[in-house]
Amino acid sequence: MLLSYLSTSVMETLFPKSDQFFDGPFQIFQKSSFHRNLNKGYFSKFITTMSTIVTAFLTKINRIDYRNVETYLEYGKKLLRINVPCVCFVEREIFETHFLLSLATYPQTYFFLFEKKDNYLYQYIDQVSQYDLHSDNPNKDTIDYMFLQCHKTEFLKQVASIDPFHTSNFTWIDFGIYHMIQNEDTLVQGITHVSQSVYPNVRIASCVDPNQPCVTDIYRFVVWYFAGSIIGGHKDSLISYANAMRDKCIAIIQERHHIMWEINIWYLLYQDPQIKPLFNCYVANHDPSILLHY
């Protein structure tokens, strides 16, 4: 197992920077046994028909009374231990405390260091002066939380731009998705299915037909046309979608001085005839179907 703390120049040599794709070089990665075998050509016939799982865990984003950091870590480790190509963004403190000494437990996972202020949306936080959501859990639905949710597509774009496992597809899965599954065998089955599923466009779970009109204030109330815990697809489609998502988030902040749930913004993007063709929706809910129907 090889773990490398790399300088900016070394990282840019290994993974040349593209301003179109991401804001800066990653600071750390784990060279897994999977990737060593990939370099030897063992997986060359199969790897392009797989999807890299992308996830992230950041703390000090909000406060959830019913699920603490330790519980989230327990759930997330169940995901990272599954034998599929995976990239996980974590804060340095979390990585060094909870993962550094047990990397062999996560042989197919690259860990990239990421602090919340690395999120491009913090460049605009001073403009979020009219943040007012109708939430039944305001301790959870903070500005920091919304910024993190809206950054999911950026995480995908960043990983797709360096493509450490040489896969054609990339799929975001929430770090704590186990709370929806509550069965380890089903989790493994679902994640394995997702990692072996490829699509030419953007695959998104839909709880309500997004062709139906929205009859509520989408800027204030959460809407469940889409489930935000999973989104994936082909590299090119994801990059186009992520760029549209970035533009839309910035526009909402600058025009409304506000931000809201990523799934609400995805619904707004779905209504754009230029972006709608990117969508490939499937019916699912916040249960095992979100993975098994992918």
pLDDT tens readout for residues 80-99: 999 999 999 999 999 999 99
At residue 64, the pLDDT reads 76
For the chain, helix, strand, coil in percent to 5 are 45, 15, 40
Whole-prediction pTM:
0.87
Q: Length of the chain, please?
A: 294
For the chain, the straight-line distance linking the first and the last C-alpha, in angstroms and rounded, comes to 32
Give me the residues of the chain with pLDDT under 50, please: 1-27, 31-46
Q: How far is Cα 39 from Cα 229, in angstroms, rounded to an integer?
A: 31
At residue 48, the pLDDT reads 60
The three state secondary structure string of 122-143 is HHHHHHCCCCCCCCCCCCCCCH
pLDDT tens digits for 20-65? 233 344 445 554 444 444 444 444 444 566 999 999 999 989 887 7
Residue 174, helix vs strand vs coil: coil
Q: In sequence order, what are the residues at sequence separation of 6 or more whose Cβ sits closer than 8 angstroms to the Cβ of residue 112? A: 26, 27, 28, 29, 87, 88, 89, 90
Provide the domain count of the chain: 1
Domain that holds residue 239: 2-292
